Structure 1
Amino acid sequence: MEIRAINWQDALPLRQEVLWPDKPISFCQVDGDEDAQHYGVYKAGSLVCVASVYKNKDVARLRKFATLDAFQGLGIGSRLIKHIMRELQHEGIRLFWCDARITAAGFYEKLGMEKQGEEFNKSGVLYFKMQIHLKSQVP
């Protein structure tokens, strides 16, 4: 397993396949992709997991985190998020947050993130805002 920086264009097909298979690939691009940091996990030379991080001063937001179905439950995504949180902490990022699908809330809780507020709907999917303060805790 190898974690490395990727460009946003390389992340789009995997984002679409995992997160929005019924939407056009353009739906999977978000404002700020050009300026964000994008990570990919490669296994046997194939891209199997992606995550994108958007920074604003000392706050970073995780968006479009996706792992191919065949590679879910193997710890790949957890290792990637822990890697990202360590990098962000070293950069002085104070708060790391995301909008987590309700079905994935338990995954983020295991990484130390906490739900903020009530569930909400985006594009027909229910989410929670989740966050972690990095200076005090990184798994």
Structure 2
Amino acid sequence: MNPSKFQIKQISAQETYKVRLPVLRPGKPIDSCVFDGDILKSTIHFGIYLHDELIGICSFFKNSHPHILDKQQYQLRGMAVLEAYQGMGIGYKVLQFGEAYLKTKGIKTIWCNAREVATGFYEKCGYQIFGEPFDIPEIGPHYTMKRSL
């Protein structure tokens, strides 16, 4: 796909639901897409568009992990790309854009709770697993992963 056809921009929490629901919460009610902290001023949401269609999203929350000593850290949550566009580098593009933005704000570490099926994606993006796997009820097995910017 031609990279010039993509546009990445900051979006509202509500706009992320168009991608969160079918990818992260299929078959669940729309309110399952609302995350604690979504509307805080410190939370940042990015969307990647192909023409005028939102096809991928990621959200960054000012949240400290107890096992990360760096005080300048953010949590990545709600990373998702519509199924028809998965495997094309779309997720990497929007994630890289968000990380670059946070780096300009002095953030040193990004961490996330990655679904087991997504750990390979995050490893390709420079994230490393730390700690033991854990289960999130109704969603499944996860690993905590982190990356220094």
- The TM-score bracket by the shorter chain reads over 0.9
State which of 132, 136, 146 in structure 2 corresponds to 1:118. Answer: 132
Provide the residue aligned with 1:45 in structure 2. Answer: 52
Alignment match, 1:75: 89
1:8 to 6, 10, 13: 13
AA matched with 2:112: C
**How many correspondences in the alignment?**
134
Q: 2:80 is matched by which residue type in structure 1?
A: A
Between the aligned partners of 1:26 and 1:109, the Cα distance in structure 2 is 30
Q: Is the 8 A contact 1:99 1:127 kept in 2?
A: yes
What is the aligned-residue RMSD (CA, Å)? 1.1
% of aligned pairs identical? 38
Q: Aligned with 2:36: secondary structure?
A: coil
Deviates more, 1:55-64 or 1:42-51: 55-64
Deviation digits for residues 20-40 of structure 1, max 9, x if unmatched?
112111011011000111110
**Could you tell me how far apart the structure 1 residues matched to 2:99 and 2:18 are?**
24
Please, which runs of 5 or more residues in structure 2 have no aligned partner? 1-5, 64-70
TM-aligned CA deviation for residue 13 of structure 1? 2.5
Cα-to-partner distance string for 1:58-98 (whole Å, 9 max, x where unaligned): 11111011100000011011011111111111111011000
Listed as ranges, the matches of 1:81-120 within 5 Å are: 81-120=95-134
Misfit runs of 4+, over 2 Å: none
Q: Work out the CA distance in 2 between the residues paired with 1:88 and 1:126.
A: 28
Match of 2:37 among 20, 32, 39: 32
DSSP-derived class of the 1:103 partner: helix
Q: CA deviation at 1:2?
A: 0.5
**Contact in 2 for aligned 1:13/1:25 (Cα 8 Å):** no
Contact 1:41-1:50 within 8 A present in 2 as well = yes
Residue number in structure 2 paired with 1:63 = 77
Q: What is the rounded CA distance, in whole Å, between the counterparts of 2:131 and 2:47 in structure 1?
A: 30
**1-side partners of 2:51 and 2:111: how far apart?**
30
Instruction: Give ranges in structure 1 of 5+ residues lacking alignment.
Output: 135-139
